[in-house]
Every structure is written in C-alpha cells, then in structure tokens.
Structure 1
Amino acid sequence: MLAEINLLPQKQKRDYTNLLIAASLIVIIITTVMIIVSLGNQKNKEISALEQEYTLAQKQTEVLQQQANQSNASSAVSELEKAISWSEKYPVDFVPILNELTKILPEKGYFYGLDYENSSSLNLLIQFESSREAAFYLSRLKELEILETVKLSTVETVTLQNEDETVPRYLATYQLLIDRTVLKAIQEEDNEK
C-alpha cells in the first residue's frame, strides 16, 4: 500500500461566528433604528393632528364667543327696550305717594328705607320711638285711599347708644299695594292745578 502524502497546505475552515455575530448586530441595530424612526414619525403625526385640533378648537371658541357677545348685546338691547316700554306704560310719580305717607307719619317717626318692587308694590321701613306708634301708623295707612292693601310685616327692636344711655327704637316694615286708579286721579288733579 501506498501512503498518500498531501503536500498542499490544507484549507482552513472559515470561522463564520464572528461574521454571524456582526451581521446579527447590524440587523438588530437597523431594526431598532427603523422602529425608533417609525415611532418618532407616528408621534410627530399625532402632535401635528393635535395642533390642528387645537387651532380648530380655538377658531370655534372665537366664533362662539363672538356669537355669544352678539346675542348678549342683542338680548341686552331687547331687555332695555322692554324696560323702556314698560316704564313708559307704567309711570309712577312718587311725589304724591310720599306726600301722603309723610303727612300721617308721627312726629318722631323717620323713613328708614323704601323698596319699589313693581308698578304698584312698595316695602316701607320706618323707625319709631315706640311700638305703639307703629300700630297707629298702620291704622293711618289703612285709611289712605291711595293704598289698596297694607300689611305690617315685622317690628324689630334696635338699641341706640345716646350719651350714656341705651335708647330702644323700633323698625317697622310695611308692605303696601298702591291703588293705581286713585293714584292717577290724584296725579290728574295735581296736573290741573
């Protein structure tokens, strides 16, 4: 038998592990970069969509505010026109009413407040020295032709400090309903004079 002798250098087997590791790292890096870029693009698109929604909402808000201002202005004008027409329809001259109310007021009775609720209703707050004066004033009010109904709502005691002594005072609240026909008759009499 013959022995085979090979004098040619043997081919070394190539080691592909380093190449595979490098290739897999490159693939992982490229995939990661692509994922990051796609996520960034997606977020940018969401941001631009939100900005568009925001600008649209601002424009809508401005339009609604302008409409609200116009409707408020128009409603305010219409309310003012209604108030003017109402005041022209129901003019009430308080001079005759106040004259009648002050004529019957006791000597030490004082007007404390007067609230005009509507065209024929008044709330009157008067200060008296005694509760008896409040009752007498109520009876005098009921005798007035200009008043349709009279109610004594409350009588409150208020103390005043007056040079070393405490003086009680009484605040009486009256609800008055004016008879408009009698009031107009009085106003016509005053106009004729």
Structure 2
Amino acid sequence: MLIDINLLPKKERKRRLPVYIAIGTLCITLLGTAFLLINTQISQQKLDNLTKDLDMKKEFRLQQETAVSNVESSDGAQQLQTAVQWAEQYPIDTVPVLEHLTSLLPERGFFRQFTYTEDGMINLGVQFDTSRQAAYFLNDLKNSDWIAEAKLSSLETSQGESVEDTSVLSEDKIMPRYLGQYEISLNQAFIKNELQEKNEGGAE
C-alpha cells in the first residue's frame, strides 16, 4: 500500500474577504450615488413643472386682471361720455337767459313773445319805439358771447305793416311801435361754463 506523503509546506489561501468587502462597498456606493442622482433629477423635474405651472397661473391671473381693468375703464369712459353728452344736451335755465337778453334791450324795449326750445333756439318778439333800436338790439345780440347766431326775421309796425311800407306820419298822428321778430341760437357751452363759474364763485 502506497502512502502519499507531501513533505512540501501547504500554500496559504489568499484572503479574499477584504476584496469582497471592498467590491460590495463600491457597489453600494455606486448604487447609492445613482439613486441620489436619479432622485435629485426627479425632484428637479417636479420643481421645474411646479414653477412653470405657477408662472402660467400668474400670467393667467394677470391677463384676467388686465381684462377686468380694461372693462372697468371702458365702462367708466362710457359713463363719463354719457354724462358729458347729457350735460351738453341739458337745456339751460330760462331765467339767466332772459336776464341776459333783457340787459341788451334798449330803455323802452319790451318782450312781446318768447319761445325757448331745448336745443338752445329762441324765437323772440320785441317791441321798439324806432326801427333803429331794433337794429341796435340785433347788433348787441351778435356781439354777445352768449349768442352763437342771431338774425332779424321780420320787422313790422304795430299796425301790421312792414317797415318798407310805413309812410312818414304827421305830428298829430300817434307814432307806431315796431315789432321785431328774432331767431336766436344760444352758445350753450359758453353759457353753461359761465353759469358754473358763477355758481362756484358764489359757493366760495
């Protein structure tokens, strides 16, 4: 019977455990790093999406506020324009107009007929002693800032005769009276401004 006797010293087995530990540690580190990178990227993506969503909401809100502001501004402008139109079309009080026209009359001039419409037109019948007074009154009307336009449509004597047909009367006859018919257009803007300033001055 043969016996195998190995007198050579046995080789020590290489210690592989530290290598395995190092490899395992490296793998764990790599996996951890990869996980952190992926998680960071996902978080950043979510943050970007939230930021974009917030920006879109802010922009939408700004657009809505601008639209509302424009509508309110448009309504305010429309209301202001309506008020201005109403004020321009609102008839002027008759009393100040009559007072002004009376101040232009000659000493012995008298109103015989007065018609005033809302659009600022006046038909005025006035009695004078002479035809010259009728002409002077027309000139004063035209020179007044309260009057936009004035014209003498007719001039007759108290007997209903036109001035051209009136003959020179003798001294023993009664002098006729002259009846002038005037068509007057008021300067409404000027009058309203004048009356407003007068009221404001009185209020102070």
Q: TM-score, normalising length from structure 2?
A: 0.47
Which structure has the highest strand share of the two?
1
Q: For the pair shown, which has the larger CA radius of gyration, 1 or 2?
A: 2
